[in-house]
Chain A
């Protein structure tokens, strides 16, 4: 059988074997002990032709209902936004997507400059002095930020608000176990980090305080207050931010955040069943040399031509090996590039306009939904594009009914917060029309 990705002909193979001085390919594997040689054939399905594989994969894809087919109100960390056509065109250029990490800067200037621009955009958006070239996702970015805070303060306790995404906190706990760090969760009060409890939780071993902005319930936390408490204890202040909120909400940098992390998925990246998305990591200038991950810097050649290189590599695993404070090697470069294309496409005017539309539409939806008899706002704090309502019935049942009307209802908060039975978290972005929101309200009303 011939394989279109393997060009060697029988003739080629013969010539090569002759040059090597062996009679068969099998001889090249003679050093593998017989006891560990795999005999027979792997038990996986036989090869498919291109037509067969696309037919099969189309069939699998069709067995999924998409957020574009239905009217979707799920957010909870992954958001449905409109994606400009140019984003996919740019990242489909194979000079970008078939390249490795830019180890040879002379022939990788495109990637390096693209990522330098990404870093610049993230630093600008978050109000921070520097950003790295990307992390796996928002959750691992936050976990690495916590580890960096512990290392740079030489303290071992992490305070994290319970209004930080439950999955992010789960990832943080797994990482913390590896690094022998203690994670303490701060309870919430009316959907926000309980500042009184937070105040009481400070001890001299607290390395950092972590809050989310807007938080998991969509509420805008009082960053000024948290920042003051954290810094009063000489702990680092880490903010996990939704980038889409930042064109209208004050940047965490303005609140003296030491590190800002998050997932840049809202910036032009499809929801894709949760990945690949892209974590970002921004820090103040004091922490630049302690950041994990690849960092691109500007420099020049001997003739003064501006160019870009991977820099501050002395921090990284391939140099420091067991002394490295992070093991990240591959990151999410292409997705970072895609989100940079999105940010550049929206531009100074568009990025504010899209963020405002999220704010306006979510508040419109909040108004029409909470006007329904039997629906109450769960909390009262200010919000951006996501809010929680109480409907007094199990959300699972409500969502099953909504699905029949081609509506993907909001997130069932009781999955992570058992006391929030009958509460639904609803995301409304620029991708929803007034008509869809009104229809959603009408359907929900009919179920209560």
Chain B
């Protein structure tokens, strides 16, 4: 099964081409007549020389060495690897969307602006917020934007001592990192035995220096923070604001809204909840919604409407400024917009109901075979612990690698950090019961293997194009580019 693959540079042969350009139709001048010769590059960049079929086969072979949602089940917790509808891909490629320049006159891009205007509204409605910016490019970018808004809010009130952001120990790693990049200090608050934020511990750390609390709800354990109203009250009474990390919003569409839970700022990941593809790591889109107290600080421009014309509104004197060039990852927004219009209010609610149903079904069927640190019903994802298997010498990493032999992408592992040997499973609503059952059966089989023939698990994967790779050497002596 193991098989190396040549780099495209290794396929290169001088004289081969796969490009096609029109002949130059203007009088050709010597380059040094156009640009002084000391500015000119002396040798062409060493790009590969291949013909078109070689190029296509190269990438086809690479794609065959990659697993996507279309290849098979991808229950990566907190990543919401749902099906990416094909119609969204088609629509986002319409020339009327891909062929517009961001600096065209507003009168020539009314369709794009109308779409963005409606999108701002839909996302505000779904989250229960008053206004939404589409500018942030990804979830972490949205988090940082939201925190900069919170900073601007406190500063506008002359309240400059609010330097701390509280983050639960179960939070995504981006939360504390985003808060740091926004200039805050981090206070970590512990979870209680039920996997929820410990409200008493929270009370002890809030104060005059609290800028905000960042919370994911349902949290990364897949559990709804049922004390959310109390939590928001504690923060608000101390003068802080409450931030909603929307990474787990797939559990709450049409069920509960962050705006109604007391959150002041929320980001959404369109590449999770709203079915746009992850692209092997991006592009995403991380719109941010706010309550009216924060609206004046939103990044500019926003999309507005006057009479029946849509326009870019730069008249935001208190804005934090720009967080990205132009207007966000527009092409991603087109896909998510198409998804929302395809699903409608009933469909979005059905998304969350079925996502939660699927997760609970898997949870209950697996609880006999793996340790379950929390017993209550989960939301769209749940965590298992591999401590029982660890006693047989089989670690969670081994379980993950063994799953590869069955054509499954493993769950998120070793996260959240507060669960030992953690497996975090998010099936999403787009998987059928047969798929869930076959994954469950494989996990049960692996649990048995861990007891009866642990070597089989420890030495996995057995069927992939490469075995476990030497990450230590990769980091110690980095090879980050091709050299002849």
Contact = CB atoms under 8 A, between A and B. Distances in A.
Given A64-B110, A88-B93, A106-B461, A220 B226 contact: no
Contacts of A433: 22, 25
Interface string B320-347: 1111111111111010001011111111
Contacts of B60: 93
B357 A364 contact: no
Interface in B240-260: 253-257, 260
Contact of B181 (A19, A178, A220, A312): A178
A374 B207 CA distance: 65
Given A41-B345, A44-B345, A249-B39, A322 B176 contact: yes
A177 interface: yes
A5 B430 contact: yes
Contact of B347 (A3, A274, A350): A3
Contact of B56 (A77, A90, A350): A90
B342 A309 contact: no
A442 interface: no
B275 interface: yes
B390 interface: no
Interface stretch (B44-52, B197-205, B443-451): B44-52
Interface residues of B, number: 204
Interface in A127-166: 129-131, 133-134, 136-140, 147, 165
Nearest to B459: A302
Nearest to A295: B480
Nearest to A73: B101
A249 B468 contact: no
B158 interface: no
Contacts of A69: 99
A181 B440 CA distance: 51
Interface string B21-65: 110111111010011101111101111111010011011111111
B68 A117 contact: no
Contacts of B141: 136, 140, 327-328
Contact of A348 (B34, B47, B62, B226): B47
A20 to B, nearest CB: 5
B66 A306 contact: no
A347 B16 contact: yes
A108 B36 CA distance: 46
Interface in A162-176: 165, 167-168, 170-171, 173-175
Interface stretch (A188-196, A200-208, A226-234, A337-345): A337-345
B324 A98 contact: no
B356 A28 contact: yes
B361 A19 contact: yes
Contacts of B173: 316-321, 324, 329
B387 interface: no
Contacts of B104: 65, 67, 74, 408
A337 B210 CA distance: 42
B41 A250 contact: yes
B471 A317 contact: no
A380 interface: no
B42 to A, nearest CB: 8
Contacts of A377: none
B280 A109 contact: no
Contact of B404 (A104, A337, A353): A104
A96 interface: yes
Chain A interface size, as a band, is 35 or more
Given A350-B19, A354-B21, A60 B114 contact: yes
A250 to B, nearest CB: 5
A408 B279 CA distance: 32
Nearest to A270: B98
B103 A411 contact: yes
B193 interface: no
Contact of A119 (B343, B361, B481): B481
Contacts of B429: 5-6, 8
B279 A16 contact: no
B140 interface: yes
Given A32-B255, A101-B280, A331-B138, A347 B19 contact: yes
B341 A276 contact: no
Contacts of B473: 299-300
Interface in B340-394: 340-351, 353-354, 356-358, 360-361, 364-365, 376-377, 379
Nearest to A220: B39
B84 interface: yes
Contact of B322 (A174, A220, A408): A174
Contacts of B228: 33, 36
Interface in A47-81: 47-48, 50, 53-54, 56-69, 72, 74, 76-78, 80
Given A56-B341, A119-B481, A344-B48, A330 B281 contact: yes
Given A86-B55, A97-B277, A113-B62, A16 B177 contact: no
Contacts of B360: 16, 20, 22, 28
A12 B255 contact: no
A165 B387 CA distance: 54
Interface in A253-296: 263, 270-278, 288, 294-296
A105 B180 CA distance: 29
A327 B329 CA distance: 18
Contacts of A33: 226, 228-229
A107 B67 contact: yes
A114 B469 contact: no
Nearest 3 CB-CB pairs, A to B?
A: A274-B326, A61-B96, A47-B344
Given A95-B64, A124-B45, A351-B47, 5 more contacts: A99-B69, A139-B325, A273-B331, A327-B141, A333-B282
14 contacts: A5-B343, A12-B432, A20-B361, A44-B122, A46-B345, A47-B341, A68-B99, A94-B68, A95-B71, A109-B5, A306-B466, A326-B177, A326-B181, A349-B49
